[in-house]
Every structure is written in structure tokens, then in C-alpha cells.
Chain A
Amino acid sequence: MKKGFIILLVFFIALVIYPFIFKNPFPRHLLIMIMLYGTMGIGWNIIGGYTGQVSFGNAAFFGVGAYTTAILLSKYGINPWFGMLLGCFFSSLVAVVVGYPCFRLQGHYFAIATIAVGEIVQVLFTNWEYAGAAVGIYIPILEESFFNFQFHTTKLPYYYIVLAMLACALLVCYAVEKSRLGYYFRAIKDDPEGARSLGINIQNYKLVAFILSAILTSVCGTFYAMYVLYIHPANTIDLWLSIHLCIIALIGGLGKIFGPVIGAFIFIPLTEFTRVYLGSEGQGIDLIIYALIIILLATLRPQGLWGIFAKSSS
């Protein structure tokens, strides 16, 4: 455990120093995306990995977070940090409204229901004139400051904000895993009937997991909106975003705190590099590579790559 803690410390120090070594925009952007997806992957892992409910709809929370912030800022000039909070609130609301009926469904039924919900949310936003419909929303440019959540001369502050988000997500996940909550979640995944007979209210704890997952994802939505300053339904509420989160968690290890971080460190560079180096010639190759990774991992090593790293650190 001590050794694990030291490795974690070294890892975080490396992340803090990284921008001082790599001063070009691309490597910094790459790590921002890795940490952003790592944070969302942790969010997905709480509902999908720990509690065992495969959600293909988490992009809806990302979209709600991004849109809440963008609408409030562009229409009413409300501070994005406050937008982040409200985004969390609305995402939790969506999680409850969607989760309450959906959690009576099991396995495939639940997975398909989450796809349906995600797609419905996308159709709604695509047709919602007030929210910019298919065109989306440009976020008004403000003076750069931490308070305004906008930085134009350098992207460095974004890097540290997302690093802090990742650290918070890891702490939340750690707290969950060590608390009673974590045991309940895993009990629901491994043996729902047994958990029920021990007096665990399965419905309620699934909802708790879903809300935690929604909040972590929504915060990332706000960050993304402020980072790229332009959002539309296709770059926020996309089924592929949800799928990427599952893949990230699966690669790293389902139900492992650090799993999604490892997953993001493998998956995001893979997507970025295939896009940069293969370009349009290699269109589809990236998909073939993910697919083989997913199929091989799910078949041969459903516990993910985490065990390999854990062995060397414990």
C-alpha cells in the first residue's frame, strides 16, 4: 500500500511537471484530453464497473453539463463556475428521472434503454432552437481569468484545472471504494439477489451510483465547453463518447480506481495518433484497432490491464 502511494505521488508530480518539459500545444492538449477522459472514465466506472450497470448514455450528462454552462453564460452572462454547479444539479436530476425507471431493467435491457435515452437527448438538443439547435452555441469570449474560466494566451491553466478534476475524481472514487457504499455497489454487481436479501435497497444505491457518475461527467462537460468554446449536439451528446468511456474503463479494468486512468493513457493517444498519422487514408483503422482490443480484453482478460500494473506495485 505504501509503495502504491509513492507510485501515485510520483505519477502526480510527473503530471505537474509535464507542461514545463513539453511546451508545445499538442502534447499539452493530448494530456488535457487524457485527464478529461480519465475523469469521465472514473465517472463511468462507478456505475458501470463497480455497480455493473452498463450505461451507453453517459454522454447525456456530458451534454447537460456543457449546455447548462454555455446557455447560462451566453444568454444571461452567468459565471461558468456557477454553471458547472448548476450543470451538476441538472445532470443529477436527469440521472434520477432516467435512473428511477431504468434501474428496474436488467443487463441488456438497461444497456439498450441508456442508448435510447442518450439518443433522445441528442434529438431534443438538435431540435431545440433556444439552445442553438444543430448549429450549437458559441461561448462569448471574456477577459481571461480564473474567475471567468477562460484563458486565451496560454492553455496551461486548463491543464491544471483538469488535473485538479482528475485528482478530485480519484479521491471521490477512493472514498466510495473504502466506504460502505463501495461494498454495496459491488454487492449489487456480483449478486443482486443476495444484496437484496441482506436488506440493501438496490434501487436507491444504483441511483446513488448513477448520480455520482452523472456529476463527474457533467463537470467534464462544463470544462470541455469552456476549453473549446464551441459546443453542438454532435460533439457533446454523442453515442460514441459514451462508447469511448466504456472502452476506457474496460481497458484499464472495470471496478478499479485507477483503471480508467490507465485506459485513458492508452486509448486517447491511440485515437489522436491514428487520426494524425493515418489521416483519411487510414479511416476506419482506428475503429478496427479498438474493436480488436475490446474483443480480446473482454474475452481473455475481462479484469482489464490493471492487474498487470497492480502486481508490480503491490
Chain B
Amino acid sequence: MEGVLAQTLASGLLIGFVYALIAVGLTMIFGVMDIVNFAHGEYLMISMYFSYWFFILFGMDPLYSLPAITLIMFGIGIITYYIAIRPIINAPMLSQIFVTFGLLIFLRGVAQFLWKVDYRMIPETLASGNINLAGIYIGRPQLVAAVGAILCYGVILWFLKNTKTGMALEAVAQDKEAARLMGINSNRMFALSWGIGIATVGIAGVLLSTFFYVFPEVGAGFCLIAFVVVALGGFGSVVGAFLAGIIVGLVEVVSGYLIDPSFKFMFVLALYLAVVFIRPQGLMGRK
């Protein structure tokens, strides 16, 4: 009994790190430009497909194709910004919601058209297998994904706090006017936030593809979870997203364990409602 619970908590913790990584990009884009990217989960899906095709067509293991896919996703993020987002920076919120929602439908449509609704899975990767850790069995892919997520998260935090560009991003997030007066080109920062945001969700997608099915709708569930994580951590807070990711991962597995797996998603969504009602700024959000 105790063993099962420990097992459950471990798997919740591991997936929580991946949730955190998915949410970091979302919260970053929101923090820098006050736009919620409803299509965030669809970028996850795209990168999972990239990982899948790199494996099928070139025989490249996801862990090897990771750098290339990260770069590709960075480029896709920047392109998305210039084509779809830039025209609506100053538009009413209604238009902004509809445009990123339109992106969601567009990317899902492209995936359905190109790759049909089949479920695909990378059969065997470098990360496959299990390890036994003090009586708890942990999937190696999950462990690799969690470690990768933590590393990636550390790099982002370092970048934001210690580089000039990172600090400029933070400055734009805090006060666009003041940042402009300091000579920061906010347009380039917006583009950069999309690049980094989509690249990080891309990394999460590649890591996820080592142990999760790929299909056109795969982003939907993860995107809702990412919203919950971002709201719980506080919209715009990178540190908050990390903590919240772990909490959401744990809530998901524990509620699935205690009540019923078919309800676990509901508890995660209920957590979102509870957070926005009781503490709308989230754990670490500024208000």
C-alpha cells in the first residue's frame, strides 16, 4: 500500500517537472506581452511530431534530435510572432483571444490533414527502460524528461537573471514604457519571448515523445494543464510556474489514486478555479 503511494508520488513529481517546462513558455509570453497563447499545446504537439519524424525518417533518437528541434521551434515561435501576433498587439483582448485560438485550430487542422488522426509512438529510444530506486520503479524516459526539464528551466532562469538580454526581457515584462525609455526595443523582446516560449515547449514535446503517444489532439489536455500551472504559479511568474507544475503533477496523480483516474483531470481544473477565485494573482504573481 505504502509502496503504491510512493510510486504514485514519484510519478506525479516527475511529470510535474515536465508540466512546469510546458508552462514556462506560456507564462513568459504572458508576462512579457499580456497575451495568452491558447495554441500553446499545439506547439507541443508539433514538436512531438518533429521528434517522431526525425526518428522514423532519419533514425535519430529524440535525445539527439533535441537541439535541432529546439532551434526549429525557436524559429517557428519568431515566425508566429511576426505573422500572427504583431498585428494584434494593440487590438482589443477579444481579438487577441480569437487570434491565438485561431492558431490552435489552424495547427490542429494542419496536423490532422498531414498526419491523420492516428496515434503514433516512437517504439524504442535511448531513454527506454525502468530503474529500481529503493523499491520504487521509475520509468527511465520519465526520469530523463524530468532531468531535462529541470536543466532547461535552470538555463532559462540563469538567462533571465544574468544576461543583458534576459534582464531586458524582464524589464519589458515589468514596465513597457520605462523599458522603452531605457532604449529597449520592445518589439524584438516580444519576438524573443515567443521564440524562447515556443522553444521551451518544443523541448518539453521532444522529452514527452519518448514515452507518450503523438496525435493531433495531444496538445489539448497539456494546454489546459499548462493554464492551470500558469494560473497557480501566477501569470507571468517563471519561478511560480516551476513550483505550480510540481503541485499540479502531484494533485493529478494523488486524486487519480485516491478517487478514480477518470476524475483526475477534473481535479486539476477544479484547482484552477479554486486558485483564481481565492488567490487570483497565484502563488508568485505580481498584482
Contacts and interface: CB of A to CB of B under 8 A. Distances in A.
Interface of A: 52, 54, 101, 104-105, 107-109, 111-113, 115-117, 119-120, 123-124, 126-127, 243, 246, 250, 254, 282-292, 294-295, 297-299, 302
Contacts of B145: none
A306 B217 CA distance: 33
A283 B117 contact: yes
A116 B91 contact: no
A246 B228 CA distance: 22
A123 B266 contact: yes
B272 interface: yes
27 contacts: A104-B280, A108-B97, A109-B276, A111-B97, A115-B227, A116-B269, A116-B273, A120-B270, A126-B262, A127-B262, A127-B263, A283-B117, A284-B108, A284-B113, A286-B109, A287-B105, A287-B106, A287-B112, A287-B113, A290-B102, A291-B106, A298-B91, A298-B99, A299-B84, A299-B88, A299-B91, A299-B95
A54 B151 CA distance: 37
B36 interface: yes
A132 to B, nearest CB: 15
Chain A binding surface SS class: helix
A284 B112 CA distance: 5
B5 interface: no
Contact of A243 (B101, B106, B260): B101
A256 B152 CA distance: 48
A294 B98 contact: yes
A286 B101 CA distance: 15
A288 B113 contact: yes
A294 B227 contact: no
B120 interface: no
A46 B54 CA distance: 48
Contacts of A113: 272-273, 276
Contacts of A250: 98
Given A116-B269, A123-B266, A298-B99, 5 more contacts: A113-B272, A117-B273, A243-B101, A291-B106, A295-B103
Nearest to B269: A116
Given A282-B113, A285-B113, A288-B113, A254 B105 contact: no
Interface residues of B, number: 46
A39 B88 CA distance: 30
Contacts of A290: 102, 105, 109
Mostly, the B contact residues are: helix
B277 interface: yes
Given A288-B110, A291-B106, A109 B262 contact: no
B131 interface: no
A245 to B, nearest CB: 13
A119 B105 contact: no
B87 interface: yes
Contact of A294 (B99, B117, B224): B99
Contact of A299 (B99, B105, B273): B99
Contact of B110 (A108, A126, A284, A297): A284
B180 interface: no
B221 to A, nearest CB: 10
A119 B272 CA distance: 12
B84 A108 contact: no
Contact of A283 (B96, B103, B112): B112
Contact of B36 (A52, A112, A120, A286): A112
Nearest to B228: A116
Among B94, B104, B224, B277, max chain A CB count under 10 A is at: B94
Contacts of B276: 105, 109, 113
Contacts of A123: 262-263, 265-266
Interface in B225-283: 227-228, 231, 235, 260, 262-263, 265-266, 269-270, 272-273, 276-277, 280
A295 B265 contact: no
Nearest to A110: B276
A291 B103 contact: yes
Nearest to B272: A116
A246 B111 CA distance: 23
B94 A254 contact: yes
B93 interface: yes
A119 B106 contact: no
Nearest to A124: B266
Contact of A284 (B104, B109, B273): B109
A108 B113 contact: no
